[in-house]
């Protein structure tokens, strides 16, 4: 288990050896980590595996207790009968995910919430899980929730409901890549069947969800990894043999400030993994004060230069051919970043942050009208 202690892991290893000795060494010992369960392990549970948050010792209720108290919530996730499992998550609306099914246990009722992108196997397992309680489960479908359902979860909150998550089967499944130069050269490795714990804090990761690409920046990543990641994301889109739209947006997400549009692709997401003791509400407040989910396309295309870091010139000095531009203009295709904030807003009728969020064709049209193309 992800939260098992070192002592527990050591004891289990010794017990495995002890049992193996009794069997005359005939058994194969396989170490399985939560979230990385192989098919042959999952098949033992026949689609009925439940992973609870804490050990049985904290449940109370005596012998025969089948759950961690009166109120708890299980996320049911999987692509087929064998790999579908239920995992306990924080009992909150923010834990919901359009791609999965959730079973919510309370003292007086049991709810089965089905996301729009959930599978039939997930829904069937949820019904079996709900049988832990003697109460008849109340079926709730995403988008048809009643007020009493939200009350049970402490009120409505933002959750992972990206349009891609609302599809049971995707033509272009999400892919995760790890970028690192720890070996002295830049390497890019794809991580199959990824989970949250696959995000390496010392590196930069790329999450490709087809209609958007996210660059996740770990707290321990170095400067060169951060600088190269934007360019690599752009190059990745341009060279994709499946024929990607080069205007596909690229977003930067910082470790610990991941929005639901990002976390939803990782299934069960633990908000406490990197919060250093902060509550979800504190993190949410930090996000609202300035979550840096920034479009990198323009910045990556012109190198590491930022709008505020380049030399500024009057528009008249920029409305000239490339060979007549001031010496501080290194990229003639992005003359607009050399305008002051005030003049930029006057010329384009919007702030630079809004300008770079526009599609490339739209930016080109605006630059043509301003004589900066």
Structure tokens at 139: 């079926």
Residue 158 lies in a domain: no
> What pLDDT, on the 0 to 100 scale, is given for residue 145?
95
Q: Which of 185-199, 234-248, 260-274, 341-355 has the lowest mean pLDDT?
A: 234-248
Rounded to 10 degrees, the C-alpha dihedral 303/309/310/313 comes to 150
Q: 45 or 358, which is more confident?
A: 45
**Does one domain contain both 294 and 179?**
yes
pLDDT above 70: residue 118: yes
Place of tokens 């990229």: 331
**Does one domain contain both 288 and 185?**
yes
Q: Which residues of 24-49 are buried (b: 16+ CB within 10 A; e: fewer)?
A: eeeeeeeeeeebebeeeebeeeebeb
Backbone angles phi and psi of 192, in degrees to 5 = -80, 155
Q: What percent of the chain has pLDDT over 70?
A: 86
The greatest distance separating any two alpha carbons of the chain, rounded to the nearest whole angstrom, comes to 86
Q: Who contacts 55 (Cβ-Cβ below 8 Å, separation ≥6)?
A: none
| Among 189, 325, 292, 297, CA closest to 233 | 297
pLDDT above 80: residue 61: no
Whole-model pTM: value is 0.61
**Does one domain contain both 285 and 321?**
no
Cα–Cα distances (Å) from 228 to 186, 203, 288, in that order, read 9, 12, 28
Chain mean pLDDT for the chain: 82
> How many Å apart are CA 337 and CA 17, to the nearest integer?
65
Which range of residues forms the domain containing residue 113? 36-152
> How many Å apart are CA 336 and CA 317, to the nearest integer?
11
Q: Which residues of 54-76 are buried (b: 16+ CB within 10 A; e: fewer)?
A: eeeeeeeeeeeeebbeeebbbbb
pLDDT above 70: residue 67: no
Residue 1 lies in a domain: yes
> What pLDDT, on the 0 to 100 scale, is given for residue 277?
46
> What pLDDT, on the 0 to 100 scale, is given for residue 35?
85
* Beta-bridge partner residues of 254: 217
Residue 84 lies in a domain: yes
CB 240 within 8 A of CB 177: no
**Tens of pLDDT along 173-212?**
899 998 877 667 777 888 988 999 899 888 889 999 988 8
Q: What percent of the chain has pLDDT over 90?
A: 26
Strands 294-295 and 250-254: antiparallel
**Residue 296: other Cβ atoms inside 10 A:** 20
pLDDT above 90: residue 299: no
Domain of 349, CATH number, reads 1.10.950.10
> How many Å apart are CA 35 and CA 3, to the nearest integer?
12
Question: What are the CB-based long-range contacts (under 8 Å, 24+) for 33-39?
Answer: 33/2, 34/1, 34/2, 35/2, 35/195, 35/196, 35/197, 36/193, 36/195, 37/83, 37/85, 39/82, 39/83
pLDDT band at 51 (very low <50, low <70, confident <90, very high): very high
pLDDT above 70: residue 72: yes
pLDDT band at 93 (very low <50, low <70, confident <90, very high): very high
pLDDT band at 363 (very low <50, low <70, confident <90, very high): confident
**Does one domain contain both 268 and 293?**
yes
> What pLDDT, on the 0 to 100 scale, is given for residue 92?
93
User: How many domains does the structure of the chain reveal?
Assistant: 4
The SS3 assignment for 171 reads coil
**Residue 203: other Cβ atoms inside 10 A:** 21
> What pLDDT, on the 0 to 100 scale, is given for residue 289?
43
**Does one domain contain both 67 and 100?**
yes
**Tens of pLDDT along 265-288?**
998 898 888 765 444 444 455 444
Residue 163 lies in a domain: no
**Does one domain contain both 242 and 293?**
yes
Domain of 232, CATH number, reads 3.40.20.10
> How many Å apart are CA 271 and CA 17, to the nearest integer?
36
pLDDT above 60: residue 302: no
Residue 46 lies in a domain: yes
**Does one domain contain both 294 and 180?**
yes
Residue 166 lies in a domain: no
> What pLDDT, on the 0 to 100 scale, is given for residue 295?
41
> What pLDDT, on the 0 to 100 scale, is given for residue 288?
47
pLDDT above 80: residue 57: no
> What pLDDT, on the 0 to 100 scale, is given for residue 192?
86
């Amino acid at each position: 288990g992800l939260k098992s202690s070192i002592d527990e892991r050591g004891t289990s290893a010794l017990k495995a050896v002890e049992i193996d000795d009794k069997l005359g060494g005939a058994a194969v010992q396989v170490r399985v980590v939560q979230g990385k369960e192989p098919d042959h392990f999952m098949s033992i549970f026949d689609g009925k595996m439940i992973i609870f948050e804490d050990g049985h010792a904290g449940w109370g209720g005596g012998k025969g207790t089948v759950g961690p108290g009166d109120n708890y919530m299980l996320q049911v996730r999987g692509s087929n009968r064998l790999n579908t499992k239920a995992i306990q998550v924080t009992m909150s609306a923010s834990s919901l995910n359009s791609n999965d099914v959730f079973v919510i246990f309370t003292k007086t009722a049991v709810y089965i919430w089905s996301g729009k992108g959930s599978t039939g196997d997930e829904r069937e397992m949820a019904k079996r899980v709900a049988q832990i309680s003697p109460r008849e489960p109340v079926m709730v479908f995403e988008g048809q929730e009643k007020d009493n359902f939200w009350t049970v979860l402490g009120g409505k909150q933002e959750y992972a409901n990206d349009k891609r998550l609302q599809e049971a089967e995707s033509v272009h499944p999400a892919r995760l890549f790890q970028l690192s130069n720890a070996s002295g050269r830049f390497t890019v490795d794809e991580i199959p069947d990824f989970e949250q714990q696959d995000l390496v804090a010392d590196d930069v990761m790329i999450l490709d969800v087809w209609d958007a690409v996210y660059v996740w920046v770990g707290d321990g990543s170095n400067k060169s990894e951060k600088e190269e990641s934007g360019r690599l994301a752009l190059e990745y889109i341009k060279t994709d043999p499946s024929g990607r739209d080069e205007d596909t947006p690229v977003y930067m997400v910082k470790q610990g400030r991941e929005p639901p549009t990002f976390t939803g692709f990782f299934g069960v997401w633990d908000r406490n993994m990197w919060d250093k003791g902060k509550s979800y509400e504190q993190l949410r407040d930090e996000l609202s004060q300035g979550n840096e989910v920034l479009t990198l396309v323009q910045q990556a295309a012109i190198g590491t230069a930022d709008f505020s870091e380049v030399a500024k010139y009057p528009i008249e000095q920029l409305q000239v051919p490339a060979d007549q531009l001031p010496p501080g203009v290194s990229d003639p295709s992005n003359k607009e970043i050399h305008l002051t904030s005030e003049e930029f807003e006057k010329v384009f009728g919007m702030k630079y942050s809004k300008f770079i969020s526009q599609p490339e064709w739209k930016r080109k049209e605006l630059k043509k009208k301003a004589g900066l193309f």
